[in-house]
Structure 1
Amino acid sequence: MTDTRASALAVLRTLVGRDDADFHDGQFEAIETLVDQRRRALVVQRTGWGKSAVYFVATLLLRQRGAGPTILVSPLLALMRDQVAAAARAGVRAVSINSSNAHEWNDVLRQLAADEVDVLLVSPERLNNPSFRDEQLPALISRVGLLVVDEAHCISDWGHDFRPDYRRLRELIATLPPGVPVLATTATANSRVVQDVAEQLNSSAQVDSSAQVNSAGDSRETGGTEVVTIRGPLARASLRLGVLRLPDAKARLAWLLSHLTDLPGSGIIYTLTVSAAEDTARLLREAGHAVRAYTGQTDTAEREESEQLLKNNEVKALVATSALGMGFDKPDLGFVLHLGAPSSPVAYYQQVGRAGRATANADVLLLPGPEDEAIWQYFATASMPSQARAEAVIGALRAHGGSPLSTPALEARVDLRRTPLELLLKVLDVDGAVRRVKGGWIATGEPWFYDADRYERIAAARVAEQQSMIEYERTTGCRMEFLQRSLDDDTAVPCGRCDTCTTAWYPSHLDGQAQSAAAASLDRVGVLIEPRAQWPVGAASLGVDVRGNIPPTERLSPGRALARLTDLGWGGRLREMFSTAEPSPTTSPADSPASAALLSACIRVLAEWDWDERPAAIVSMPSRRHPQLVDSVARTFAEAGRLPWLGSLELAGDGPVGPSGGNSAYRLASVWNQFQIGPELAERLTEYASRPILLIDDIADSRWTLTVAGRLLIRQGASAVLPFTLALRS
């Protein structure tokens, strides 16, 4: 045994607390590559193999040899929390700098300066924070002992979970002092992603098969700077995979109600949307199950509490979006269930990999839905910039003369909502066209070209991945073997455990009471429409002379929508209703009066509305796409509520311009002064001065149409305006 192996084994045994612990195939080879050879390594190994042991052991050995601290780039707060806790158990002094612990940053910097930190965890986004990048990072880089990139598939835009900020690591790696080793780890990378990540680790190197280490630990040393790839088999012997196709959301929820208690231990129920997670969690709680929703919109403190409850087996499940994903560490997780399929087998493998890491058995079941493909299509293109939008952003920054523009100020100059704008800025930053500085963003002046060919190839790859996911659902072969081959794992063989290798291991019957409860939950109606309280930043630059808070006397009252388009129940029916394409000069939108079932559901919203004062009359919005639909709802409300329908507002000129959506400033500008109160409506409104008005429209998106129309009615004398729409877009 070499001195390095003996030292590494001693550290490993301290780390895991067992005197008989030994390395898995490939673990020591990775450590040796980093510690003795000071090279760059890419480790692609299944979840639970022990990738964190590699970088913790390597860190302590390098520290013993006088090296500086390790910088560990980690993508998620939940993952950071787990890594810090695991490091503490191993005797590794780890700290993090992230958006949730700003109050601790000064202490962290003091500890770094005193060389009291072994591992510093940072998010990829933090690396581009101007203060950290320009003031703290250079000093860290000058003495870093090891750079670790966790969940490295995020580097590649061919990967299933591309993060633009990760691509910036290529620049960071180029600034490292000579001889600083680099480790990238992931459990979910096919050959294309492996190649791309290796190029990011070392732009002068390609993956050299002669420098790879296989699962048996064999290595042929080549010297030089080639990235060493250590790749093992990805089979998960503990997982029992299955797919159960049910006709609709009602049947899927009924299955959950019928059989959740039969699933082993505690686990995760994944959904594709935030509203699906919240609706499913509510239904299960009402049936007496201990579950919680966990999404990107969940408060940070609540997320941490939910993670701990799951780890302590104090809840049966977290009903989660992909916000609970990479790296979440609960070795005894008993099951992972999906209500709706992820868009690729690779993403699916990553999520189900949370289960059965330290147990002999864990159940993994997919309940796909007919709405899956529509959701995939949206997310497939969300991370890819359009040429027109990219050029608009660069042009707006250049036009500002070199002074930085904050994101809200830039938002007022380009018609992009905040989230896609921030994503586009990150892409352009990585491409070198823009740069984040104190105070906002500037254009670099560097030439930028839209790589249409690359984006077309990425889009085609996304479509192929979606088709592959459908094939996984329908395969008659081994499901684990299918997932392994999707990750280009040539060791794949039938698992002998899944529902195609044997028989369906899961029940398929639905309890009658559960079906009734699911149907009642999906038939639930009524979603709050929050009134806008502030005018958007930059509206004045678009010709709308408003700013700051909307005066309380001119705000809408809280309103109601029948459902969100993303809801499991009425959302599906409303999606179909509003899915027709934008009308063109040669086509007209599909329009018809609301069905009896739809009207009945709307009446229930009205009956359950706990308004402070009952509306005295009804006014409707002028709809160019669905006039019959809106009129039928207004007439039904008037009849059922015995309220006078005073008529509709009118369009001023051509009415609102541009498609729905867009950011707040542009959307407000598109509807400002585009509605008016005609003479007949004005006369009728005088009879209801100082009384509340119920305002009816088809769909609410940005809510600026309702806000502007409501303000108009209030200025005409209404004491309050209560908006009602059939749908809320999100």
Structure 2
Amino acid sequence: MSEPETAEDLRDEALGALRRLVADETATFHDGQFEAIQALVQRRARALVVQRTGWGKSAVYFVATLLLRGRGAGPTILVSPLLALMRDQVAAAERAGVRAASINSANPLEWTDILASLGNDEIDVLLVSPERLNNPRFRDEQLPALMARIGLLVVDEAHCISDWGHDFRPDYRRLRDLIAGMPPGVPVLATTATANERVVHDVEEQLGTGGDGVVTIRGPLARDSLRLGVLRLPDAATRLAWLLSHIGDLPGSGIIYALTVSAAEDTARLLRDAGHEVRAYTGQTDPAEREESERLLKENRVKALVATSALGMGFDKPDLAFVLHLGAPSSPVAYYQQVGRAGRATARADVLLLPGPEDEAIWQYFATSSMPEQAKATAVLDELDHEGGALSTVALEARVDIRRSRLELLLKVLDVDGAVERVQGGWRSTGVPWAYDAERYSRIAAARRHEQDAMLEYERTSGCRMEFLQRALDDPAAAPCGRCDTCTSAWYPTGIEEATAVAADAALNRVGVLIEPRAQWPSGMPRLGLELRGNIPPGERLEPGRALARLTDLGWGGPLRELFAPGSPDAEISSAMAAACVRVLADWGWDTRPAAVVSMPSRSHPRLVGSLARTISELGRLPLLGTLELTGKGPGGSGGNSAYRLAGVAESFAVGPELASSLSDLRAAPVLLVDDLVDSRWTLTVAGRLLRRAGAGAVLPFVLAARA
């Protein structure tokens, strides 16, 4: 009978694996690394590791995998939230001699080969997204066999499990059930760099499902290399001018974070126009382009990626030299997570926050968009109960007045609550009673408001900024850093070059946003009483249109947000805004100049739309033919999903006799259709169809603002 393995023997074996992993024969364990490996390999425990970015959490699960596999265990399943993170983890595993593969939305053609390799025990680590765990085919056909032979379950970025985590994701919540159903004696590792005590306790409770205790290994979160600072500037133009003045002074390459897609794209364009090598990186960026941008940043072939939070968890560039924020994230914990990308393997990295007055409005929008509404949830459940079988998301969207993105999020919440389940063909009711947990959502909303207040306090604090972030994460080792702008003095320049101020003003004064025409009616319109299906005939479509700007734009977005803010009075268009609209029209480049102007009958801004149409008519020397009529039919609302939005306006307008006569006189010449605000584009689409049917030629829509 062999002697029991000692801790010293295990440490020697683990150290050898670590040195192969990092290709360094002198490498040693950081505090807590071996203890985590020992808990997983020797005790087959459930462990939570809360350590700063760069501490080496991936080394723990790769070394543990190698040791467990050497003892006859099955493969590791690593639940990972982002494709960028998966790519880095697969590459790191290969360097360590760990055979790793991922199943994700970007590589469906490889799934069959990967699953065959798994069946042949040729893969050590399988990386999957939390969403993949609920894919019906994977969940029902592959997952049971995997769970029967799993050697280790790893939940990366585990703060996503918790309602209180800064990046909570509904799909992560089903991991609790997965853990509860695992075979006895299979170790579980959860890792994160951003968890306060509330999140830690929540994750511990979910890891401990089944009665097993949890080993929590927590280290200090301060990063000695980070030099933090906050620079308050009065407006977006000044912030961009500062960036143009000083991006060349920043060390190495880094990340510039923005709060919205349009802000990231506008900033990247401004910097490129000034000769800087930068790229935009957002959730709307093509996946192949995102992967290329990550590679260029890692190779220091671009100065920066101008990114939204889409570039966040897990992006691995040890020598990232700076992180700038144009606008603040909504909590100190989220901010720490993003700035933690910098300075992992450098003596110094610069971290600067340039907050904006619009930050709080953006926080509020994202905070409310993630909360389920009781009436909407009830409507979804009623439709699924009535159907009896499965409904696809598209079919369900035609039955409930909820936008696609919010419907998908709501279905995930109902799924993890057990009220619905995803099956082949869509979603179906489980029949399990569901009750809206108002108290829980109220507590979450209150916690979010507290986090926002804390972020504002971080911006204003006269104490150490790193210590402030550590305390926000309940780090017992919180202490003054001696490097930030409050521990010392402002280490960043504050001056702005005159030429960059002019360039920033010009960039923010840029006008003109393309409005793509709708080409197809939404699915399910006959169910809503409208015989609209398939493609919109080319002879009834709009032409591509223009908006002055988006509401989220850095430049004209601000004045437009004020114009359309709730409670703002209806007034005639200002001379400055009218002049900007004229510039959009002058730069349009249409094939045939419009012969006349038609305006929409605005319920909320009739003076604004009327004055805009008159101004264009007078300055462009185009006849103003009049306004479409309101029929009084349809609710005319602006909320809900695409099908319901169309239903709300499909019969709301008419071409009156006088306008019809004027259109007939034009003999199919193009007309300019003027409105105040475009969102779903269905109001313009319906109006354009009416005008085309009444004899207008091409219909070119022009609006002041686009929502996104």
1:552 aligns with 2:538: yes
1:494 aligns with 2:480: yes
- In the alignment, which residue of structure 2 is the partner of 1:138? 144
Cα distance in 1 for partners of 2:476, 2:31 equals: 17
Cα distance in 2 for partners of 1:526, 1:665 equals: 28
SS in structure 1 of the partner of residue 293 of structure 2:
helix
- 1:297 is displaced (CA, Å) by 0.3
Cα distance in 1 for partners of 2:340, 2:222 equals: 10
- In the alignment, which residue of structure 2 is the partner of 1:695? 673
SS in structure 2 of the partner of residue 342 of structure 1:
coil
Cα distance in 1 for partners of 2:67, 2:636 equals: 61
1:464-503 equivalences under 5 Å are 464-503=450-489
2:596 equivalent among 617, 621, 629? 617
Code of the aligned partner of 2:553: D
1:652 aligns with 2:631: yes
Q: Provide the aligned C-alpha RMSD in A.
A: 0.8
1:663 equivalent among 641, 651, 659? 641
Code of the aligned partner of 1:430: V
1:12 equivalent among 6, 15, 18? 18
Q: Does structure 2 conserve the Cα–Cα contact (< 8 Å) formed by 1:590 and 1:625? A: no
Cα distance in 2 for partners of 1:564, 1:518 equals: 17
- 1:658 is displaced (CA, Å) by 5.1
Q: Does structure 2 conserve the Cα–Cα contact (< 8 Å) formed by 1:383 and 1:423? A: yes
1:78-477 equivalences under 5 Å are 78-204=84-210, 225-401=212-388, 403-477=389-463
- 1:659 is displaced (CA, Å) by 3.2
- In the alignment, which residue of structure 2 is the partner of 1:2? 8
Cα distance in 2 for partners of 1:318, 1:413 equals: 41
Cα distance in 2 for partners of 1:244, 1:704 equals: 43
Cα distance in 1 for partners of 2:241, 2:558 equals: 17
1:593-604 equivalences under 5 Å are 593-604=572-583
1:510 equivalent among 496, 503, 524? 496
Q: Does structure 2 conserve the Cα–Cα contact (< 8 Å) formed by 1:661 and 1:702? A: no
- In the alignment, which residue of structure 2 is the partner of 1:211? none
Cα distance in 1 for partners of 2:339, 2:193 equals: 11
Q: Does structure 1 conserve the Cα–Cα contact (< 8 Å) formed by 2:180 and 2:210? A: no
Q: Does structure 2 conserve the Cα–Cα contact (< 8 Å) formed by 1:338 and 1:365? A: yes
Code of the aligned partner of 2:646: L
- In the alignment, which residue of structure 2 is the partner of 1:727? 705
Give CA-to-partner distance per residue, 1:500-556, whole Å, 9 cap, x none: 000000000000000000000000000000000110011111111111111111110
SS in structure 2 of the partner of residue 687 of structure 1:
helix
Cα distance in 2 for partners of 1:339, 1:232 equals: 30
Cα distance in 1 for partners of 2:128, 2:250 equals: 36
Cα distance in 1 for partners of 2:261, 2:200 equals: 31
Code of the aligned partner of 2:238: A
- 1:117 is displaced (CA, Å) by 0.3
Q: Does structure 2 conserve the Cα–Cα contact (< 8 Å) formed by 1:661 and 1:701? A: no
1:590 equivalent among 569, 575, 586? 569
- In the alignment, which residue of structure 2 is the partner of 1:218? none
1:531 equivalent among 517, 527, 544? 517
- 1:689 is displaced (CA, Å) by 2.5
CA pair 658-180 structure 1, distance change in 2 beyond 3 A: farther
Equivalent residue pairs, number: 702
Q: Does structure 1 conserve the Cα–Cα contact (< 8 Å) formed by 2:49 and 2:192? A: yes
1:40 aligns with 2:19: no
- 1:673 is displaced (CA, Å) by 1.2
Cα distance in 2 for partners of 1:486, 1:544 equals: 54
- In the alignment, which residue of structure 2 is the partner of 1:607? 586
Cα distance in 2 for partners of 1:200, 1:567 equals: 41
- 1:661 is displaced (CA, Å) by 2.9
Cα distance in 1 for partners of 2:302, 2:232 equals: 27
1:562 equivalent among 538, 548, 557? 548
Cα distance in 1 for partners of 2:500, 2:634 equals: 46
Cα distance in 1 for partners of 2:580, 2:298 equals: 41
- In the alignment, which residue of structure 2 is the partner of 1:221? none
Give CA-to-partner distance per residue, 1:652-710, whole Å, 9 cap, x none: 02x55153132110000000111011111112111112110100000001000000000
Give CA-to-partner distance per residue, 1:415-465, whole Å, 9 cap, x none: 111111100000000000000000000011001010000000000000000
Cα distance in 2 for partners of 1:686, 1:554 equals: 16
SS in structure 2 of the partner of residue 442 of structure 1:
strand
1:629 equivalent among 594, 603, 608? 608
Cα distance in 2 for partners of 1:707, 1:391 equals: 31
- 1:204 is displaced (CA, Å) by 5.0
Instruction: Structure 1: give runs of 5+ residues left out of the alignment.
Output: 206-224, 582-588
Cα distance in 1 for partners of 2:537, 2:206 equals: 52
Code of the aligned partner of 1:505: W
CA pair 658-677 structure 1, distance change in 2 beyond 3 A: closer
SS in structure 2 of the partner of residue 2 of structure 1:
helix
Cα distance in 2 for partners of 1:67, 1:609 equals: 65
Give CA-to-partner distance per residue, 1:69-109, whole Å, 9 cap, x none: 00000000000000000001111100000000001001101
Q: Does structure 2 conserve the Cα–Cα contact (< 8 Å) formed by 1:155 and 1:197? A: yes
Give CA-to-partner distance per residue, 1:150-175, whole Å, 9 cap, x none: 00000011110011000010111111
Cα distance in 2 for partners of 1:548, 1:291 equals: 41
Cα distance in 2 for partners of 1:712, 1:30 equals: 68
Code of the aligned partner of 1:532: R
Code of the aligned partner of 1:288: G
SS in structure 1 of the partner of residue 394 of structure 2:
helix
SS in structure 2 of the partner of residue 91 of structure 1:
coil
1:576 equivalent among 562, 565, 586? 562
- 1:610 is displaced (CA, Å) by 1.0
1:61 equivalent among 57, 67, 70? 67
Cα distance in 1 for partners of 2:62, 2:285 equals: 31
Q: Moved runs in structure 1, 4+ residues, more than 2 A?
A: none
Cα distance in 1 for partners of 2:71, 2:637 equals: 62
Cα distance in 2 for partners of 1:343, 1:89 equals: 37
- In the alignment, which residue of structure 2 is the partner of 1:717? 695
Percent of counterpart pairs with the same letter?
75
Q: Does structure 1 conserve the Cα–Cα contact (< 8 Å) formed by 2:636 and 2:649? A: no
- 1:564 is displaced (CA, Å) by 0.4
SS in structure 2 of the partner of residue 96 of structure 1:
strand
Instruction: Structure 2: give runs of 5+ residues left out of the alignment.
Output: 1-6
